[in-house]
Structure 1
Amino acid sequence: MRTTDVVVLGAGVVGVSAALHLQARGRAVALVDRHRAAGQETSFGNAGLIERSSLIPYLFPRNPAKLIKYALNLLPESHYHLAALPAVGPWLMRYWRESAPDRVHHNIEARRPLIENSLKEHEALIEQAGAQHLLRKNGWIKLYRSERTLEAGAADADRLRAFGLHIDTLDSRALAALEPDFAPLAGGVHLRDTASVVDPGALSKAYADLFVSRGGLLLAGDARSLAPEQGGRWRVAAEGGPIVAREAVVALGPWSDAIFGPLGYHIPLGWKRGYHMHYAAKPGARLNHVILDVDVGYLLAPMTRGIRLTSGAEFARRDAPPSPVQIELCEPAARALFPLGERLDPEPWRGARPCLPDMLPIVGPAPRHKGLWFDFGHAHHGLTLGPVTGRLIAEMMTGETPFIDPTPYSAARF
């Protein structure tokens, strides 16, 4: 048996960031993950965006015509399994309610301190980890195929400019200047404050290597074995014997219910599954920015491995077999937009975004268990928010005055 100050469950970017911030404040930390490696699950398969400009959460659509198309599975940006509706339907209803106009302003203001500090917190860790080569600071582009949708995108950009963000609205000529290998489109919106990472998995690994180099333990283990002990400590099974700690942090993303559920917490954690596939570019073609094809519903990102196509949201049971129909639907549109070459992966990768109905994470103490802390539910922004919520939870755990108000992220709100 080994003892430590804190055990962090989950070595995705959220868990690794929390471990680094706790370590920097003098805590001895063990980081436990079933893979004995960082960034192997949700943190591996995202779009690589540090979304400094994403102040408006991803909302449940309220347009009746679009809802009908979603119900019929006609839009590639969203797909659901009919057999999963009894399980995911109640969560979707709560998500719909939280997307009501009177809730949106509240949720924007609640997420704003996290988003506004996200890139700064990443840059500090990136410098310490020597991972500057993974970061690109040229923003990302939302593409629009028609003048009607471009006008709507420009209106959204105006809303964001009110928060001091730097955004360019691009006509077809300005878009072609930035991305000369695209087929002609109506235009786009260039969100210049956002940064991107060319290998999200490698960034999580760089953070984990920094943690280990400073004396942290990264161990394979079974987070589901976490249990309270007499004396207010927490025990978890890990390689080489159990770990016993004064405090435990649950940072297991979509699997966090494996801990809070048996302990009696009824937290409405859901997930949006997603897929990606890598492609080569045809000779002479180059993708310069991360781009979102808004009218179709997929994203292309230049990555170390190739050009990553990521899908929209799939609503299904978390561990159901893969059904990458969205990749198949979006690939022809992506090939018509940009000269993609051959597929580079044997099959699409699948992951799950951990989401709470208000699209805000839970960051803070478990209400009924001393020494237990929650850091999960980062929705579409796990990569973006990992370091900033890592700092926040470390400050709370070590008695510092939190640099932002943690109240909106409390588990007690549910």
Structure 2
Amino acid sequence: MTTVSKIDAVVLGAGIVGVCAALHLQARGRSVLLVDRRGPGEETSFGNAGLIERASIVPYAFPRTVREVLRYASNRASAVRYDPLFLPRITPWLFAYWRHSSPSRLAEAASAMLPLIERCLDEHDVLIAAAGAEDVVRRDGWIEAFRTPAAFDRAVAATSAAAALGLRFEILDSRSLHEREPGLTGALRGAVHWLDPVAVRDPHALTMRYFDLFISRGGSFQTGDAQTLDRQAAGWSVTTSAGTTEARDAVVALGAWSGRLAQRFGHRVPLAVKRGYHMHYAATPGAELTRPILDDEGGYVLAPMTRGIRLTTGVEMAAADAPASPLPLSRCEPLARQILPLGARLDATPWMGLRPALPDMRPVIGASGRQPGLWFSFGHAHHGLTLAAVSGRLLAELVTGEEPVVDSNPYAIARFG
């Protein structure tokens, strides 16, 4: 006989976004089951640059100048690589992304994202304190560095918008930069040190601290296939290793895998995947790193992690299930060694993850609108870690009928028809 249990809400996806949604629903008195095919935080939440990016006030846009487009079209850039065989399939999405990256639409996207960005750190801080995770974070910002004076000058000019929003930063010339990070070589000409963001020493460990908090407060986790989600008369059911669970509400927080499930319940969402890689390196004595460094022109990040110095690559446009490519890392690693003498590789193979991205550069957070009790929180692109806590709060407020912390309309799935 099949075992059937009942619960208030099931959250599909135990990455950082799903775990935060579960915690916030739980805090509002809901019994919650987390479901994932793997362990908590073992997909995209496992590998990123580890930044709670409070200073990211403008979304990552598609290049608009002919020079930039031609640079990336050559498919030799370190920041972006595409699979030529995949290009015909992704071209409509890229065109939509390009359209939304016009100056007026980019400003609209930035305005839509700002309320979440402004609250991202405050909401994480509540969970960090509750989870006892202060030892996993470092509160001295990150550094955006530049190889050429022209790029540095453009960045400095652009800081006026950040200053107007009250963000804290310091402009570093080459000498000041190397005083702050003595391990860096002379390849960099200047930098902006963003002081508000928080760096995470181990993103997977932070997810696990949040997950442990959820479990300690009475939450449940089971392995299972989200595609078993099914409509029931009084809500939803999902099949897991422990049997069938019925819930009044179901939350889809599956990251890059959310689009397929949303489509099954009547939503066609233009969700694409930006693949990314990371590798850890030993620190060379005398060339340690204390803060994350973005090589702006190189298109990668070096971040000090518990395991070693993590190099995270830029974007690869390829099918989600295509074999990993050696090219993104092989292009970025020589550039990284120019600015920091890295030691030996510490991982047997590069890690690869999938960033879920929507062309209008904002996530989907809120109700289905077509299926009662079905909710979504996905499509955070490069900012899943950054926005997880505030997205969880907003989602839980919508589910429970509270006054939402921010206007949720810009993130409604209805914008896609």
Q: Structure 1-normalised TM-score?
A: 0.98
Provide the aligned length of Structure 1 versus Structure 2: 412
Give deviations 1:287-310, integer Å, cap 9, x for gaps: 011000011111100000100000
Aligned to 2:261: 259
1:204 shift after superposition: 0.5
Aligned to 2:21: 18
1:96 shift after superposition: 0.5
Aligned to 1:303: 305
Aligned to 2:283: 281
After superposition, residues 86-125 of structure 1 pair within 5 angstroms as 86-125=88-127
1:155 shift after superposition: 1.5
Aligned to 1:290: 292
Distance 1:261 1:316 in 2: 21
1:159 shift after superposition: 2.1
Aligned to 1:47: 49
Q: Secondary structure at the match of 1:69?
A: helix
Q: Which moved more, 1:85-94 or 1:243-252?
A: 85-94
Aligned to 1:186: 189
Give deviations 1:326-347, integer Å, cap 9, x for gaps: 1111111111211210000001
Aligned to 2:382: 380
Q: Secondary structure at the match of 1:224?
A: helix
Aligned to 1:8: 11
Distance 1:167 1:8 in 2: 38
Q: Structure 2-normalised TM-score?
A: 0.98
Asked if the contact 1:275–1:324 (Cα under 8 Å) also holds between the matched residues in 2, the reply is no
Q: Which runs of 5+ in 1 are unaligned?
A: none
Give deviations 1:6-32, integer Å, cap 9, x for gaps: 000000000000000000000000000
Distance 1:199 1:216 in 2: 23
Give deviations 1:251-307, integer Å, cap 9, x for gaps: 000000221112221111111110000000112321011000011111100000100
Query: Which residue type is aligned with residue 114 of structure 1?
Result: L
Q: Secondary structure at the match of 1:58?
A: coil
Which of 209, 212, 228 is the equivalent residue of 2:212?
209
Q: Secondary structure at the match of 2:303?
A: strand
Aligned to 1:60: 62
Which of 386, 402, 406 is the equivalent residue of 1:400?
402
Aligned to 1:337: 339
Distance 1:324 1:217 in 2: 38
Q: Secondary structure at the match of 1:242?
A: strand
1:230 partnered with 2:204:
no
Query: Which residue type is aligned with residue 79 of structure 2?
Result: E
Query: Which residue type is aligned with residue 411 of structure 1?
Result: I
Q: Which moved more, 1:118-127 or 1:283-292?
A: 283-292
Query: Which residue type is aligned with residue 83 of structure 1?
Result: L
Asked if the contact 2:183–2:286 (Cα under 8 Å) also holds between the matched residues in 1, the reply is no
Q: Secondary structure at the match of 1:96?
A: helix
Aligned to 1:32: 35
Distance 2:339 2:287 in 1: 12
Distance 2:318 2:166 in 1: 38
Q: Which runs of 4+ in 1 moved over 2 A?
A: none
Q: Secondary structure at the match of 2:111?
A: helix
Distance 2:9 2:88 in 1: 38
Query: Which residue type is aligned with residue 378 of structure 2?
Result: F
Q: Name the Cα RMSD after superposition.
A: 0.8
1:87 shift after superposition: 1.7
Query: Which residue type is aligned with residue 23 of structure 1?
Result: Q
1:318 shift after superposition: 1.1
Give deviations 1:220-242, integer Å, cap 9, x for gaps: 011011010123x1011111101
1:324 shift after superposition: 3.0
Aligned to 1:357: 359
Which of 62, 75, 82 is the equivalent residue of 2:84?
82
After superposition, residues 161-200 of structure 1 pair within 5 angstroms as 161-184=163-186, 185-200=188-203
Give aligned-pair identity as a percent: 53
Distance 1:264 1:83 in 2: 29
Asked if the contact 2:266–2:370 (Cα under 8 Å) also holds between the matched residues in 1, the reply is no
Q: Which moved more, 1:106-115 or 1:155-164?
A: 155-164
